Chains A and B, each alone.
Chain A
Amino acid sequence: MEPLMRISELHTRFHTQDGTVNAVNGISYAMQPGEVLGVVGESGCGKSVHALSILRLIQIPPGEIDAREIWFGGRDLLKLNDGDIRKVRGREIAMVFQDPMSSLNPVYTVGFQISEALMLHKNMNKQQARERALELLNLVGIPEARKRLDNYPHQFSGGMRQRAMIAMALSCEPKLLIADEPTTALDVTIQAQIIELVVRLQQELGMAVMWITHDLGIVAEMAENINVMYAGFIIERGKAHEIYHQTRHPYTLGLLGSLPRIDEAPGTKLISIPGLPPDLIGLPQGCPFFARCAFREERCRLERPVLEEAGSTGHTVACWRWQEIDAETLRKAVGGAQ
């Protein structure tokens, strides 16, 4: 099957006064139509930057996007001119941002902001766009949508604003929705509602969703595939259950080990990953995770591991020693076993 999107060797760099920041370092993967992909990693690992690079929303200069291709819908997004990439934004790929408090313009009504994209891409007139905006607000579950259409963003609560943002993103029925930590700023109850909403809409509309988050718990239940990112690299990729149950990369293991689990014996210590992510200016020559890894050996310092198939098809990991790694050895290695 022809994939919906194929990214190969995407590099995103920022040329700053202190040097070149290598935010994304040659990542490649494909997404199928209707797939839900989770992208996880800690702050600054390049999750958001890689998503913004797909839509070419990086400011150039100081930024630089360099890839063999970002294939989407039969063409290379990097080769499109300004007018054509703008037609992709919103219409084929839509985005929902992290902070619902600041991602709506305070001087316009919510209804107007939702209908804006419709008037832009679907050539609707004001009345049609307003009707559609009303439908969309109903779709995302905002009560009394007709009244709420003429409200300003400050009259919405955080969860409602995020719903409105989702309505805005869905307005042109995109093929891919990029959700950039859409629930981070919300409390847990609302978080669950938003996730449920997106999963429902994904199934109803059949679009693909890329869910970017630092919370492994969120993507566990919704994502088909998961990319684990570290320092701008994809260090492990596979089906969600493989990532959780046949974890191969010590970093992913560390991330999972740092989550409290309900089925664990009381008193079990959480594993923490020592140290900090490497400076993205002047990355180490070998494995980016070398300095923090409990399994490191001389080879890891000198040679950077590449993604290779680990066990089952589609499960890839970038680690020299993936065969020797499991949760028990990690526990022993960090001395957290109790």
Chain B
Amino acid sequence: MNAINQSGWKPEMGNAGETAPATFTGNKALMLEEALIFEIGTAATTGVDLADAPKVAARLGNLERHRDIGLPGLSEPETVRHYTRLSRQNYAIDLGFFPLGSCTMKHNPRLNEKVARMAGFADVHPLQPVETVQGALAVINELAMWLIQLTGMHGVAMTPKAGAHGELCGILCIKAALAARGDPRCVILVPESAHGTNPASAAFAGFSVENIPATSEGRVDLAALTARLGPDVAGVMITNPNTCGLFERDMKAISDAVHAAGGYVYCDGANFNAIVGRVRPGDLGIDAMHINLHKTFSTPHGGGGPGSGPVVLSEALSPYGPLPYTARNADGHYTLIEEETAQEYHPHSFGRMTAFHGQMGMFTRALSYIMSHGADGLRQVAEDAVLNANYILRSLEDVLEAPFAHSGPCMHEALFSDNGLADGFSTLDIAKGLIDEGYHPMTVYFPLVVHGAMLVEPTETESKATLDQFIGALRSVAERAKAGDPSLKSAPHHAPRRRLDETQAARKPVLVWREPEQLVAAE
């Protein structure tokens, strides 16, 4: 039965060989261009129905705002369409493989979203009486207990808002511990391969930062580090596994040497995913380590946050951790230790880092993820993450230079360099070529210790079939770069935008939208 065709409609395949003409709209079928809200909205449009305000005499201190604010409104259907169209111009972990090294782009389970949205967590105010938020405090406490157990540390500061905020927390603990013993040490040692946040955090707290070199194996040079230790060195900040994707074999020896010289050991825990459940940082002599809940524990990155960066602390540094924190009484009741009770329970705290109790919405998600995996599942997470990375390393080291592959297995990420590409071809071209293949590129040009670095972190939530296809795609793009294929220089060809002019953006910054006539007037 074919009712439509009875009236004469005949399906035709058309001519697949013709080139596509430019469209009237600039759209390409499902790839839709979208104007700015300032170009499509109006001041008179709103997508919200509000009750009329009762008539009262205003008590605004004669400060009524008369001038237009300049906020365009859209109706609800226009709003939903605007942001839906924008969303389709984003690459995301839900859409495909996202091997961005050091960022741990793993699957974000939707159960976590569901529990975070339960009214009991999403709809409670941070200053409610503690008797009315016992369940919320229980979540913070349960997550804290997991983090302490998984790291083998003594305590944990839950309030830091992201990884860099956590680094600052750890550094302030070190500063406070030194101050408590009247020790004026002022130097923090940071390996060359560190994340930029490490030296920035140390400098923010008033430390001067000195680099320590890496060995040809891509690890911290223990001899150089030991030689630099002395009465002015407050501590070291080391990433382990490091940003070359390698485990610092000498970590315990480094910690012992730093401690013997009177300093403290900060560990950047951005790469904890590689070792969770298999190694406890507490067993390596670490004094403070932040944990990016938005990396290891799967809370979504949201296009640039929010993150969450609890800091686990050794017995030596725990007394200095920030306020407020949650405590569980013997009767099972939870309390908040704030400035008021700090003198009694936490007299050496360095103080408050943020207005309230940290990233509650991330705590619920992370705890949900941790409970789902459990102790056995988390160990499997690390094993699969490391297995996937080594699989990529060994499958591609014949086509891309892997500078530290000779050092042994990598941890959760595989590092390649741009050595051996054709003249004029770089890591950037490979990255843009991968975009056309339907992937988010790996981290590029980081760590700085490798020329044209490409840092590939697959995570454990990718199947072997996904990895095999990616390996094939990266091999193909790398071979084009080695052969000097000019079409790679203009990649991406199929993304919503071609390469963007970042120089112009920085030279004449346009950071807000202005009416076209304003622009003319300003010329």
A-B interaction: no
